[in-house]
Structures are given as C-alpha cells and as structure tokens.
Amino acid sequence: MALYFLYCFDCRASLKPLELLPTTIYTFPLPAFSPKSIKPIPAPTSFSIHPIAFVEMAVPQVNKKLLDELEAMGFPRPRATRALHFSGNSSLEAAIEWVIDHENDSDIDQMPLVAVDINLDSPQLFDITEQMKMKAQELRNKEHKKKEVEEKKLERQREKERIRASKDLTEAKRILESNEKQRYLALKKKEKEEEKRAREKIVKKLEHDKVERRSRLGLPPESPSVKPSTHLLQEKTTSLPLKSVTNAEQMRECLRSLKRNHQNDGARVRRAFETLLIYVGNIAKNPDEEKFRKIRLTNPLFQDRVGNLRGGMEFLELCGFERTEGDEFLYLPDDKVNMELLNTAGSELKSAMTNPFFGLLSV
C-alpha cells in the first residue's frame, strides 16, 4: 500500500495539513448572525512560498536474486530488503555485514519505504561464500540459543510452581489426617471415661444395696476394718456384667474384625456397613413389622453384601437376631426387640463409616 506526503518542490521542506487551506477563509459568529458580519481572514502564504508536490512512498527495488538468496538463508523479507537497500544493493556479503551491524535496531524487521523509484539492479552478481554462510548460521544459532534460554527459564518457573503446589497439598493432607486422628483419640478417651464412670456408679449402687440389706436384717453397719480392700473391690466390679458397655464393645470389635479381614476391599466393607445400618434402622423405625425382623440366609443379595463377610451375621446376632428353621432364617423375636441395643448398633455403624481410623488403631 502506497503512502502520500506533501513537500516543497523547490526546497524539499515538509508541509503540514494546515497549509492546504484555501486562499481565503470566512468565519461566521454564531450569535446574532448577519451577512454584514462576515469578515475575511487571510490564509497562510505557504502556497506562494512553497509549491506543493505529491510523492508516493513505495518499497525500494532491490536485486531479486540477492533477495531470494537471503530469504533462502533464513532472513525475513523485510530484513533482507532493508539490508540490500541500505548496503547499496551491491552484494550478498555487504547485505549480511549490514544485518550483523544493525541486528539490534528496533525497525530491522519493518519493510523500508522510499520516496522515489530507484533502479538499483546490480550488473554483477556474487556467489554465496562460506564466510557468508557461517555468518548467517551464526545469526540463526544466536537466535535459537536465545529462545532456548527463555524456554528453560519458563520451564524452571513452571517446575517451581508445581513443587510449591505439591508441597501445599501434602501439608494440607497431613493437617487433615492429624486432626482426624486427634478427634478419634479424643472420642476413645471419652468412651473410656464413660465406661469408668459406669463402673463407679455400679460399685456405689452395690455398696448402697449392701447397707440397706444389713439395715433390714437388723445388723450393724459393716466395720471399716472388715471392709474389703480396694484391689478386691475393683476385681469384683470388673467381673460384674455391664450389659450396655459390653454390647457396644462387642459390636465395635465385630465391626473392626470385619474391616480388618477385608481391608483390601474398602468399597465392599462400606457396603456391608451400610446394609447393616439399613437392617437396624428399619427395625428401629418399624419394630412391629415382621418382614424387617426376618432375613432369609439364602438370599443372594444378603449373602453378597453381608453373609459372605466374616463378622456380618455375628453383628446381627449381637443385635438380637437368632438362627431359626434349620439355619434358614435370621429372626429377631418381637419380645426381644431392644431399642437401646438397636440405637447402640446404629451409633457404632455410623462411627465405623465416618471414622477413617476405624479398625486401624488398637483399643
């Protein structure tokens, strides 16, 4: 695309667009317009001083063969054209020398424009020498190395970002696991404290009953000298059956055993826990419905989810189920439905499903 500029034909001075105004310019004031108020304003006298000439700016003509040879060596057309034009369009070697001297120019890859058409075809052509090839290759290698350095810098930065993100993720995972472990240990501590308080309550109840029996029989209160030692009392207390605590512990141990026996198949273990929770929940919600209290042992779905896993049927038996009709059914009699026991079973199942350390730590 050609560009047009204005300049003085005599002195070659550039002219501004203002100098294209007509000889006389009239102004019309907006308020109270009247033809008599028109006043002439003299225009600049540039036209009387500088005759105007139009010049077309075009790409300079260079030797086509030299241009093709430079492009074959890897130089862009604008750079090759600029090199031939400013080196005098004399030889390939001169053009390459010019590129080497001006490779850092900001406009080296912009197509040059000239005001006149000049025929610069050189009558003499030169062959590409080894030195020219080496210099051209040197330029290409320099550019290639520059790109490699930038790419390596970017790759190192990306690698640092990946390492930082990986460390952050590992630290977050470690904190989460630590919090879960502390929560589980706190829960176990609370359970042991509750068990201890239950034992102490039973001991106090036994002591109170003993005092009442002696009082009813007319016997004097027991002398402190014959009071059994604390060690013997603890042994006696430990041997007492604590039904709620014992059942909960047995259920918990049964679920731990089930998870340990199938620790390589976590999905199947979780499905078994969910199925057991459904059985227990249905009975707790509908204790009078016999269909929820009777399970056919030969049912393929029951066998796949619970029956084939060691500890599954044992857990149901701890909930009160009994084998009936020649081990064909698991049945929970109506008079043996214990809501407290079913609630305990539900709590243990929920704990087993939500606690990631369930079955991994010893009690």
Which domains can be identified in the chain, with CATH numbers?
A: 3-57 (no CATH), 64-128 (1.10.8.10), 243-363 (1.20.58.2190)
pLDDT on residue 335 = 87
The residue type of 153 is K
Decide: helix, strand or coil at residue 9.
coil
* Beta partners for residue 27, in sequence order: 39
Distance CA 214, CA 209 (A): 9
Among the listed residues 305, 303, 299, 304, the one whose alpha carbon sits nearest the alpha carbon of residue 278: 305
Decide: helix, strand or coil at residue 124.
coil
Among the listed residues 61, 125, 59, 72, the one whose alpha carbon sits nearest the alpha carbon of residue 94: 125
Other CB atoms closer than 10 Å to residue 107's CB: what's the count? 10
> What tokens appear for 47 in the block?
């036209």
pLDDT on residue 233 = 40
pLDDT on residue 352 = 87
The residue type of 320 is G
Residue/partner pairs of 61-66 with CB below 8 Å, 24 or more apart: 61/117, 61/118, 61/119, 61/120, 61/121, 62/89, 62/120, 63/89, 63/120, 63/121, 63/122, 63/125, 65/125, 66/91, 66/92, 66/95, 66/122, 66/125
Distance CA 343, CA 292 (A): 16
Place of tokens 């929820």: 292
Decide: helix, strand or coil at residue 158.
helix
pLDDT on residue 280 = 92
Residue pair 352/255 in contact by the 8 Å Cβ criterion: yes
Q: Which stretches in the chain have pLDDT values below 70?
A: 1-56, 116-128, 222-245, 359-363
Among the listed residues 196, 175, 177, the one whose alpha carbon sits nearest the alpha carbon of residue 185: 177
CA distances from 68 to 19, 78, 140, 169, 247 (A): 43, 12, 17, 57, 95
Sheet strand arrangement including 329-331: 294-296, 329-331, 322-324
Q: Cβ contacts of residue 68 below 8 Å, gap of 6+?
A: none
